[in-house]
């Protein structure tokens, strides 16, 4: 039986993988960590499913220098919520910032991302 410390370590690693996959546009890794029923709320308020998220990820775009700060992982048994702050560079070179919230669920012993929401200011 995993301990809380084991779960937190796993979720920290998965959060790092999630961000690395965003930066590298690694849809294969996302395919491994996103639940089949994953949903993402975009900054404009639209809701997309797993397939649309993976398709959007495959669109080429420049690396915007995304950095993650103040990661806070809250564990509720077989559900975890990850909150974090981000900084990045806008296409015009100005600095930007945002936040994200990811919801993870343990399914059949494995942590999977089931929902995400992010903002960019």
Task: Count the domains in the chain.
Answer: 1
Find the CATH number of the domain harbouring 29. Answer: 3.10.450.50
Do 84 and 69 form a contact (C-beta atoms < 8 A)? yes
47 token code pair: 């809701």
What confidence tens digit (pLDDT) does each residue in 48-82 have? 999 999 998 877 666 678 899 999 999 999 999 99
**Could you write out the DSSP letters of every residue in the chain?**
---HHHHHHHHHHHHHHHHHHHHHT-HHHHHHHEEEEEEEE-TTS-EEEHHHHHHHHHS-------EEEEEEEEEETTEEEEEEEEEEE-TTS-EEEEEEEEEEEEETTEEEEEEEEEEE-
Give the residue numbers spanning the domain of 78.
4-120
Compute the distance between CA of residue 10 and CA of residue 109 in angstroms, rounded to an integer: 12
CB 10 within 8 A of CB 80: no
> Phi and psi of 93, rounded to 5°?
95, -10
As beta bridge partners, residue 106 has 111
Give the pLDDT of the chain (121 residues) as one tens digit per residue.
Answer: 678 889 999 999 999 999 998 888 888 898 899 999 999 999 999 999 999 999 988 776 666 788 999 999 999 999 999 999 999 988 888 999 999 999 999 999 999 999 999 998 7
């Amino acid at each position: 039986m995993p301990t809380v410390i084991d779960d937190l370590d796993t979720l920290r690693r998965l959060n790092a993988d999630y961000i690395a996959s965003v930066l590298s546009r690694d849809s294969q890794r996302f395919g491994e960590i996103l639940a089949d029923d994953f949903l993402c709320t975009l900054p404009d308020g639209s809701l997309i499913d797993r397939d649309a998220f993976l398709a959007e990820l495959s669109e080429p775009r420049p690396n915007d220098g995304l950095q993650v700060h103040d990661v806070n992982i809250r564990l509720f048994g077989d559900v975890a919520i990850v909150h974090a702050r981000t900084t990045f560079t806008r296409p015009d070179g100005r600095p930007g910032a945002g936040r994200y919230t990811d919801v993870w669920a343990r399914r059949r012993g494995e942590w999977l991302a089931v929902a995400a929401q992010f903002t960019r200011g």
